[in-house]
Amino acid sequence: MRGSLYGASLLTAAVLLATACSWRPSVPISETFNSMGTVARVTVGPQDRERLPQLTAEVHKEFSTLEDLLSTYQPDSEISRLAARAGQAPVRVSAETYRVLELARHYGELTDGAFDVTVAPLVRLWGVGLKPPDHVPSPDEIRTRLQLVDFRRIELNDGTAHLPAGMSVDLGGIGKGYAVDRAFDIAGRLQIDSAMVDLGGNIRTVGQAEPGVNWTIGVRNPFEREVIVGKLSLAAGMAVATSGNYERFVELGGRRYSHIIDPRTGYPVEGMAGVTVVAPDATMTDGLSTGLFVLGAAKGKELLRRVPSANALFIPDKSPIEIWITPGMKAVFVPLPEFSSSVRILN
């Protein structure tokens, strides 16, 4: 497994239905592989079991191609070249990279800058990824990096991208979701009726688990990873992603810091334990879950009024557990009985 900007995030959602079970033809089966610094799982329903190896192979190839383009850990990736040429000259990029940058800008605008891929210098400063820093960053160090954060300054023109001097881009908050949407397209091209693709907790369904039965996944309790707080029932084609402070964090001076940075302050986000978003595509769920993690439930709820197709579930970082859901989530999320009294509706 290559080092990658996507880091070692673990699966955030337990796949409830899907386990490899070759001796029982009536259940879904899955294959896993490592990609983008995390675990990928491709699952198919019983009717498509013969197609699993082909689907997995094609999805794996696509994920590797995208990682080679988008990773900040590969010095020859297009995203690394973009940073290397910042302030010098526009870089001609592939259609895929161009599209991901456009989508990153879109989710930057939609979240009023809470999601901002130019947060990369701060991600490095706080040691999210490979190398933890030897000290807690100083206000001065943070201020200097903050001047390099503004997704609006990414110039996209006719297949080329350009960054102002010193700026760089980190697609760790959106690249996996984009990749899962490409996997969804591959399943469509292969005429697969029933599948689910999971890349480090970014999930999209193809059809249903079996005729008349939705795919179901669990939402983890951020305070107790082995426990789920409830289940999500995903209609055909729907996506889900979770941004959680339990997946990845930085430990500095005896404190834990989140791997998600607030681009307005330059500090890791505090007060949020997990945000799960359900929406029609995985790029949207990936971008929004990261952005909503920054915004929190109250502001996030306002934002979601502008995105009626998306629903969210927020778990603040406090005890006892509270599970805040948007009204539309009621039709999708079923809490386990022991957590039902913790659920609150964000009206």
Binding site for Mg ion (CB under 5 A): 173, 286, 290
CB-closest chain residue to ligand AMP: 172
Q: Strands 323-325, 343-345: parallel, antiparallel or unpaired by DSSP?
A: parallel
Which CB atom, from 228 or from 260, has the smaller least distance to ligand AMP?
A: 260
How many Å is the Cα radius of gyration of the chain? 19
125 binds, among Mg ion, ligand AMP, none (CB under 5 to 8 A by kind): none
The least distance separating ligand AMP from the CB of residue 277, rounded to whole angstroms, comes to 10
128 binds, among Mg ion, ligand AMP, none (CB under 5 to 8 A by kind): ligand AMP
310 near ligand AMP, judged by CB under 6 A: no
Query: How is residue 281 written in tokens?
Result: 């595509």
214 near ligand AMP, judged by CB under 6 A: no
CB 91 within 8 A of CB 160: yes
Query: How is residue 301 written in tokens?
Result: 């709820």
Q: How many CB atoms lie within 10 A of CB 246?
A: 20
276 near ligand AMP, judged by CB under 6 A: no
288 near ligand AMP, judged by CB under 6 A: no
The count of residues in the chain is: 347
115 near ligand AMP, judged by CB under 6 A: yes
7 binds, among ligand AMP, Mg ion, none (CB under 5 to 8 A by kind): ligand AMP
Which of positions 136-175 make contact with ligand AMP (CB under 6 A)?
170, 172-173
- 313: phi then psi, degrees, rounded to nearest 5: -130, 125
Which CB atom, from 251 or from 338, has the smaller least distance to ligand AMP?
A: 251
Which CB atom, from 259 or from 301, has the smaller least distance to ligand AMP?
A: 259
The rounded distance, in Å, linking the Cα atoms of 300 and 294 is 9
Torsion of Cα atoms, 177 then 75 then 94 then 70, to 10°: 0
Per-residue binding letters, 5-44, with ligand AMP (x by CB under 6 A): x-x-x-----------------------------------
The rounded distance, in Å, linking the Cα atoms of 178 and 170 is 14
254 burial (CB, 10 Å; 0-12 / 13-18 / 19+) is: exposed
Which CB atom, from 38 or from 326, has the smaller least distance to ligand AMP?
A: 38
The rounded distance, in Å, linking the Cα atoms of 232 and 185 is 23
Q: Which is it for the CA torsion 146, 152, 156, 157, positive or negative?
A: negative
117 binds, among ligand AMP, Mg ion, none (CB under 5 to 8 A by kind): ligand AMP
Instruction: Point out which residues bind ligand AMP (CB under 6 A).
Output: 5, 7, 9, 115-117, 119, 123, 128, 170, 172-173, 243, 259-261, 263, 286, 289-290, 294
